Amino acid sequence: EKVAEITCEAPTFTVAWHPRRPLLAYACDDRDTYDRNRDAGTVKVFGFPSDNS
């Protein structure tokens, strides 16, 4: 059963669920917007009430 879908524009290698709350953290292998040769990895959290799903 699918409850949500998260669109990622970069490869995602790490995900982790919160042990007691419906929160999902994931790390993306992004590149810097202005310098594509520079890594700019990000960590995002999905599941806060303000997230649009």
So where are the chain's domains? 1-53
Percent of the chain clearing pLDDT 90 (strictly above): 17
Q: Considering only the C-alpha atoms of the chain, give the largest distance between any 2 of them, rounded to a whole number of Å.
A: 40
E strand or H helix at 13: strand 12-17
Quote the DSSP letter at residue 44: E
pTM of the full structure: 0.62
Residue with more model confidence, 18 or 53: 18
- How far apart CA 31 and CA 42 sit, in angstroms, is 9
Looking at residue 22, what DSSP letter applies?
S
The pLDDT of residue 28 is 82
